[in-house]
């Protein structure tokens, strides 16, 4: 039953984040339809990022206080319907509203989805949360493919197709989730939710800062990697796209492995080693000029960076055992949204000092992450109620 639930939640996570991954693909079509400037088009990405980042903690509080599992399928549905309306919007302003609604759907899904994944995970929380997080990565990866198919076939109005996976997954979750919930309660789930321990706010705030820096690393690589391949390593655009594919594929593997490693060796120890290794290999990548070596080094960079996602999420939930929804909302909001707001800073470095300089600055952020991880207390300190 645990694996059935994990698969369902992971599928729902994929169906939600497909919409975030699709946004960059629809921008050229939206620009052409409304004759927009690049700044106006960038506001679309900024809107969904901002809405998702700041409303996820709010939905986390709601999930903790009211325990509303229906927020998860509602989030999936709203994320898809919101994006599907972007191409149908008669004006730029209404398009922004549609994107904002999609961002609210994304924000509604993540805290409740992560809270349910934690509740059904049993004693393999890091493994389950890593699988759950992988669903988001897959959504980001296949979102552009689905959107490209729909936009090339039907034009800008093809965004309506994005409602199809959202509706299908919403119906599936709505049908299956009640049975899973009854099963969980029948085997003692309600009792397990009592006496959760003491909330350790100091540790959680430190963890949130750590997740913030990890998010910046991810978004920085995601944004500038193809440009680095083309303009610094003097490779083709196809090679740049291939490097990004390698980064995403390796990241999925790292995410899955990271949970198992953390369950075996401990959450904090696993994250500490992963960031320490990243602190060594990322600067080497930043200074390399050989495309073959760069591609080879990129694989462990993606593995180490993604391996920490699930364990960090579980650490946050352990530090706030009575507010798992809020912990999930903050950690997921920072991990998958906040980093996007910092990319203009690295763009400024690129404009004034060159792209390699931006990558070099980015490559030293894992050292900060390693230091912050070293100061994190072990989860059992926060989890004294068990």
Instruction: Give the SS3 label for residue 384.
Output: coil
pLDDT single digits (tens) 251-277: 889 988 988 898 888 899 999 999 999
pLDDT single digits (tens) 49-75: 778 777 888 888 877 777 677 788 899
134 vs 127: CA distance, rounded Å = 11
DSSP 168: H
Residue 35 phi, psi dihedral angles, 5° rounding: 55, 55
What burial letters (b/e) apply to 246-274, b meaning 16+ CB within 10 Å? bbbebbbebbbbbbbbbbeebbbebbbbb
Which range among 10-14, 158-162, 174-178, 368-372 shows the weakest confidence by mean pLDDT?
174-178
Angle at 227 between CA 224 and CA 231, to 5 degrees: 140
Q: Nearest-CA neighbor of 330 among 13, 72, 55, 41?
A: 55
pLDDT of residue 334: 66
201-205 contacts at long range (C-beta below 8 A, 24 or more positions apart): 201/319, 201/320, 203/319, 203/376, 203/377, 203/381, 203/382, 204/316, 204/319, 204/320, 204/327, 204/330
Collect all residues with Cβ–Cβ distance below 8 Å to 8 and sequence separation of at least 6: 172, 173, 176, 177, 180
Q: Scan for tokens 């992988």, then name that residue.
A: 134
Phi-psi region at 291: left, alpha or beta (left = phi > 0; alpha = psi -120 to 50): alpha
pLDDT single digits (tens) 117-140: 887 777 778 888 888 888 988 888
375 pLDDT exceeds 90?
A: yes
For residue 342, give the H/E element and its range: none
In a 10 Å sphere around its CB, with 0-12 CB exposed, 13-18 middle and 19+ buried, how is residue 291 labelled? middle
382 pLDDT exceeds 80?
A: no
83 vs 161: CA distance, rounded Å = 9
204 pLDDT exceeds 60?
A: yes
Q: What is the DSSP string of 170-229?
A: HHHHHHHHHHHHHHHHHTTHHHHTS------HHHHHHHHHHHHHHHHHHHHHHHHHHHII
Q: What is the DSSP string of 98-113?
A: HHHHHHHHHHHHHHHH
117 vs 327: CA distance, rounded Å = 13
Total count of residues recorded for the chain? 386
**Residues 46/341, Cβ–Cβ less than 8 Å:** yes
136 vs 110: CA distance, rounded Å = 10
200 vs 301: CA distance, rounded Å = 31
Q: How confident is the model at residue 199 (pLDDT cuts 50, 70, 90)?
A: confident
Task: Provide the token pair at 16.
Answer: 């939600």
pLDDT single digits (tens) 280-336: 999 999 999 999 999 999 999 999 998 998 899 889 888 988 888 888 878 876 666
Collect all residues with Cβ–Cβ distance below 8 Å to 163 and sequence separation of at least 6: 80, 81, 84
pLDDT of residue 47: 77
Helices (H) and strands (E) in the chain, counts: 17, 0
Q: For the CA atoms of the chain, what is the radius of gyration?
A: 20
**Residues 28/80, Cβ–Cβ less than 8 Å:** no
């Amino acid at each position: 039953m645990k694996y059935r639930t994990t698969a369902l939640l992971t599928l729902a996570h994929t169906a939600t984040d497909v919409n975030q991954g699709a946004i960059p693909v629809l921008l050229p079509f939206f620009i052409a339809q409304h004759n927009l400037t690049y700044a106006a088009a960038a506001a679309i990405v900024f809107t969904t990022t901002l809405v998702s980042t700041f409303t996820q903690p709010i939905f986390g509080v709601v999930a903790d206080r009211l325990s509303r599992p229906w927020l998860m399928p509602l989030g999936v549905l709203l994320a898809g319907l919101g994006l599907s309306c972007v191409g149908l919007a008669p004006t730029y302003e209404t398009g922004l509203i549609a994107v904002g609604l999609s961002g609210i759907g994304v924000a509604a899904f993540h805290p409740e989805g992560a809270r349910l994944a934690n509740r059904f995970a049993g004693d393999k929380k890091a493994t389950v949360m890593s699988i759950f997080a992988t669903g988001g990565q897959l959504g980001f990866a296949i979102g552009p493919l689905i959107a490209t198919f729909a936009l090339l076939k039907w034009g800008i109005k093809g965004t309506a197709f994005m409602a199809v996976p959202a509706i299908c997954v919403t119906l599936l979750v709505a049908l299956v989730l009640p049975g899973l919930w009854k099963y969980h309660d029948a085997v003692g789930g309600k009792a397990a939710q009592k006496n959760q321990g003491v909330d350790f706010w100091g540790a959680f705030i430190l963890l949130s800062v750590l997740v913030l820096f990890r998010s910046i690393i991810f978004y920085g690589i995601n944004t500038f990697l193809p440009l680095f391949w083309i303009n610094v390593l003097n490779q083709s655009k196809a090679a740049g796209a291939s490097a990004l594919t390698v980064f995403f594929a390796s990241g999925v593997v790292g995410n899955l492995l990271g949970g198992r490693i953390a369950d075996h060796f401990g959450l904090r120890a696993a994250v500490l080693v992963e960031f320490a290794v990243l602190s060594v290999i990322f600067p080497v990548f930043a200074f390399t000029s050989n495309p073959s070596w760069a591609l080879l080094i990129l694989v462990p960079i993606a593995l180490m960076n993604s391996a920490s996602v699930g364990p960090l999420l579980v650490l946050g939930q352990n530090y706030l055992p009575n507010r798992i929804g809020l912990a999930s909302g903050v950690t997921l909001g920072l991990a998958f949204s906040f980093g996007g707001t910092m990319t203009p800073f690295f763009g400024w470095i690129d404009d004034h000092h060159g792209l390699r300089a931006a990558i070099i600055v980015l490559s030293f952020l894992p050292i900060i992450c390693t230091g912050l991880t070293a100061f994190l207390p072990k989860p059992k300190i926060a989890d004294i109620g068990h």
